[in-house]
Amino acid sequence: MKTIGILGIQGAIEEHEASIRRLGLNTLWVKGAEDLKKIDGIILPGGESTSMGKQLEWFGLMAPLRKAIAGGMPAFGTCAGMILLAKDIEGSTQTRIGLMDILVRRNAYGSQLDSFVTDLKVKGLKAPLPAVFIRAPRIESYGPEVEVLASYKSHPVLVREKNLLAASFHPELTESTALHRYFTEMI
């Protein structure tokens, strides 16, 4: 059976875990490099991307994680997780995994108080996908290998590039497991 790792540093770890468990798959909180050997794919939850990046370095996890993902391990970044995957972050030199050919702008949808929920039409999914935006990043531009799976107000908010999937929003904070299923089918 597939085991989905969830980066166990901060953010909505339990919620992602619950979504994956509802699909009947194993989960493992990834806290050290040795955990990477036990998983088939990894979810990078939301949180605070600057602090997550620093902690990845402190735990000695940044280099091995980058190597595993660059080597083809499927990775799904949500919100701050998307920022960690991005090659380019507008106006920031913060440390990142940096493997996805997207340019993101942090907090582009406003503050915590501006959080909102909307239904997205997603390529490949039949039903509309409920999406929770919390201090979400916006994708300002993207490379030729990046496929846009959903947009909100003409900006992409769900994108895929080979083994990488990234969402500006939090799919784990809704009842829908459709996007988690999509990710596990990439494995």
- Shortest distance in whole angstroms from residue 94 CB to ligand GLN: 9
Among residues 83, 77, 18, 32, the alpha carbon closest in space to that of 53 is found at 83
Under a CB-based contact definition with an 8 Å cutoff, are residues 25 and 3 in contact?
A: yes
Q: Per-residue x/- mask for ligand GLN, residues 19 to 38, rule CB under 6 A?
A: --------------------
The token duo for 12 is 């909505």
Residue 112 or 154 with smaller CB distance to ligand GLN: 112
Contact pattern for ligand GLN over residues 80 through 119, marking x by CB under 6 A: x--x----------------------xx------------
Catalytic residue among 79, 147, 155, 175: 79
Comparison of 36 and 136: residue with beta carbon closer to ligand GLN: 136
Compare residues 7 and 25 and give the one whose CB is closer to ligand GLN: 7
Strand, helix or coil for residue 149: strand
Check if the beta carbon of residue 101 is closer than 8 Å to that of residue 142.
Answer: yes
Q: Looking at the chain, list the stretches that DSSP marks H as alpha helix, in order from N- to C-terminal side.
A: 13-22, 49-58, 62-70, 80-85, 178-185
Name the nearest CA neighbour of 85 among 6, 161, 136, 9. Answer: 161
> What are the catalytic residues?
79, 170, 172
Contact set with ligand GLN (CB under 6 A)? 46-49, 79-80, 83, 106-107, 134-135
